[in-house]
């Protein structure tokens, strides 16, 4: 566990983005806190290099993130957004990470969870307050229960995996159940051309906005707002290896690498849903 001095030092560093002598109002202090978390030295260089493509500040503001909230991150993978959420929420809020099992029979999922656990263990001054549980495969979480309900449930570029794995609806229902009334589900996902069937979605990793809205509303949510912060009109979505042809994966190796690098990361929709 970090010492009191470590926690105070980290919190002081979080506010260092404020100009010397400025009188921080609550909104300004919150803004400085979020920007400091994004700029934090604890984040990996590779992750920080992608900020221009992933727009963490704009997206988290769009979702309504606030420092006193209880936040559930669904399928955090390697912890790209956890690097930002954990220090931002550390002192005044709570973060729950719903991940895969460390003993999952699937090698990729098991290694993903083990890598995430190792990341958190390396920097307890940042991550010791992250409560890690399991991804829901049914309409309820097994071990994540924010007291009074979560304010936010967030997921970033994971919906296509849930469709392929067959638990998309159950996961949305679990998100609805864990949120308090008025709570928000924030979704970022690779955007498919309208009308694409589910077999194409599973193969290529892009999801239609219509399908996302339809299934979220079936789970009880209402669409609150859309953002184009992650739009990329250069993405033609007809790549030989689907969305994984593009950076950062570049599954095709050197084949057409320059063309895919020029396109950049995928075209993505960003939706905010609310539990009535």
Average pLDDT for the chain: 92
Which residue(s) pair with 207 in the sheet? Answer: 191
- 142 vs 125: CA distance, rounded Å: 27
pLDDT tens for 205-252 read: 999 999 999 999 999 999 999 999 999 999 999 999 999 999 999 999
Q: Regarding the domain with residue range 54-274, which homologous superfamily does it belong to in the CATH classification?
A: Vaccinia Virus protein VP39 (3.40.50.150)
Q: Which pLDDT does position 4 carry in this prediction?
A: 37
pLDDT tens for 118-171 read: 999 999 999 999 999 999 999 999 999 999 999 999 999 999 999 999 999 999
For the beta carbon of residue 94, count every other beta carbon within 10 angstroms: 18
Q: Where are the alpha helices (DSSP H) in 40-106?
A: 45-48, 51-54, 56-63, 82-89
pTM for this prediction: 0.90
Q: What is the mean pLDDT of residues 108-120?
A: 97
């Amino acid at each position: 566990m970090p010492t009191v001095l470590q926690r105070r030092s980290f919190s002081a560093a979080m506010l260092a983005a404020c100009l010397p002598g400025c009188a921080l109002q609550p909104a300004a202090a919150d803004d400085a806190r979020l920007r400091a978390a994004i700029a934090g030295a604890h984040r990996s260089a590779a992750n920080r290099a992608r900020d221009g493509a992933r727009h963490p500040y704009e997206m988290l503001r769009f979702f309504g993130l606030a420092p006193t909230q209880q936040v559930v991150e669904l399928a955090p993978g390697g912890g790209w957004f956890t690097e930002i959420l954990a220090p931002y929420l550390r002192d005044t809020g709570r973060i729950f990470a719903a991940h895969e099992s460390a003993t999952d029979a699937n090698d990729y999922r098991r290694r993903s969870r083990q890598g995430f656990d190792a990341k958190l263990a390396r920097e307890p001054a940042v991550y010791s307050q992250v409560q890690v549980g399991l991804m829901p495969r049914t309409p309820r979480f097994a071990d994540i229960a924010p007291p009074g309900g979560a304010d936010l449930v967030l997921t970033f570029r994971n919906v296509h995996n849930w469709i392929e794995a067959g638990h998309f609806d159950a996961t949305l229902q679990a998100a609805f159940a864990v949120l308090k009334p008025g709570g928000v589900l924030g979704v970022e996902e690779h955007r498919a051309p309208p009308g694409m069937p589910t077999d194409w979605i599973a193969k290529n990793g892009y999801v239609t906005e219509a399908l996302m809205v339809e299934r979220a509303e079936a789970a009880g949510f209402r669409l609150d707002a859309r953002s184009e912060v992650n739009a990329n009109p250069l993405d033609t979505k007809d790549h030989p290896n689907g969305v994984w042809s593009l950076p950062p994966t570049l599954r095709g190796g050197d084949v057409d690498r320059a063309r895919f690098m020029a396109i950049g990361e995928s075209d993505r929709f960003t939706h905010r849903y609310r539990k009535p």
